[in-house]
Amino acid sequence: MKPVSAWGRLSNDLHDVHVLTDRAHVAPVLAAHRPGLAFGNGRSYGDVCLNPHGHLWHTTGLNKFMAFDDATGRLVCEAGVLLRDIQRLFVPRGWMLPVTPGTQLITVGGAIANDVHGKNHHAVGSFGDHVLGVSLARTTGEVLSLDWTQTPALMSATLGGLGLTGVIVTAELQLRRVGSPWLRTETLPYQGLTEFFELADASEHDWEHTVSWIDCLAGQTARGIFMRANPMSAPQAAAMPSLKAVLAAHQQKTQSQPLRMPFVPPLSLVNGLSLKPFNMAYYELQKLKSGFDVAHYEPFSYPLDNLQDWNRMYGPRGFYQYQSVVPREGGQLAVQAMLDAIAASGEGSFLAVLKTFGNREAKGMLSFPEPGVTLALDFPNRGQRTLQLMDRLDAIVREAKGRLYMAKDARMPRDLFEAGYPRLSEFAAHRDAGISSAMSRRLMGV
């Protein structure tokens, strides 16, 4: 047994860990050590990836590329491959993952099990929209081949299914053509939610990537930074010779030793004393960058990946991430109500991301994205005080008929989960009885 934490570091319970390295042996390991749960690179924030005092099947040893068709962009790989490794191998060859979240340090299996989304959801959907098929090991000893034609129901349950339908062993992904690693970007400061929604509406047709940072302590005068970007074609990039020097510097930086948060401070570095000046300084600094620019896809898409173990800054008690989505109708009022509640509580968030999702339904029965607006926030764990704030945010989400993101949750009440995921009873029929997690027991009873 060894202690295992999720990214939020809210617990450190013992687990019986079994490292999977050979896909031919996955099913026998599962059958011999159940009930258990697949564990990838540990970037889920809450308890979706934990099974305290039980079995964990560690998948990062399943990290082999198996096949790639350079004519079609179809990639077959094992589920423990990191998204970063796909990007760095295939971008120089003119292919890229269509969808990635705010970190590329997650496994393919984790991306499927949580049906992750990115800054381009309004343009291309979520990760699952580009998964063609998977092989799924069940604790009965079976290994099933799933696709959208022959097994659509089990595919839909597995996509966003939190690892509860089996262990994803391999996946076939559809990559997209790209002309360069560069993005043409624009940074726009805004004042108030009305201006944010105007920018979002004006950007969704012509810009592939849109996202904003918002000062969650500003209340009714919420200010923020709206960022949008489009991929650059090869001719566009070639017309900017200065990019070669920037790319060389970027490659040198990625090959050198990355920065690391070296220790866990005794108290959270994110607190009432640090947040307001940080938010003010961040807004003013980003405001200076207003206008058009060019950026490499890595720093634009994964700004926190350059600081390893950044989750340590929240101290020994860890932190919660709270991400909701509410329908666009009434969405502005709901987001404003959440910002008002946060400002009134004195609890603030260093990371506060506001974005609109596209008008498309996800393929997974328990997928998080739906048409509307999503707000993601980090809160240092201050015990009951923090939980009471999130209870108030829950009430706003419930009233707006929204839902919370399970990949990041650690304390959502069961009634909010059931209200937010209406296909739950349909999903239950596809669960593997030999798989259980802290989250499934908390929200589903088993």
Closest CA to 209 of 293, 290, 121, 287: 121
For 102-135, what is each residue's pLDDT tens digit?
999 999 999 999 999 999 999 999 999 999 999 9
Give the pLDDT of residue 252. Answer: 72
Put residue 125 in one of left, alpha, beta given phi > 0 → left and psi -120 to 50 → alpha. Answer: left
d(CA 14, CA 27): 23
Q: What is the pLDDT of residue 52?
A: 98
Measured between alpha carbons, how far is 60 from 18 in angstroms, rounded to an integer?
11
pLDDT, residue 349, reads: 79
User: pLDDT below 50 — which residues of the chain?
Assistant: none
Q: What is the pLDDT of residues 53-99, one digit of tens each?
A: 999 999 999 999 999 999 999 999 999 999 999 999 999 999 999 99
Q: Are 379 and 386 in contact (CB under 8 A)?
A: yes
CA–CA separation, 183 vs 244, rounded Å? 14
**What structural domains does the chain harbor?**
66-177 (3.30.465.10)
Q: In terms of pTM, does the model score above 0.85? A: yes
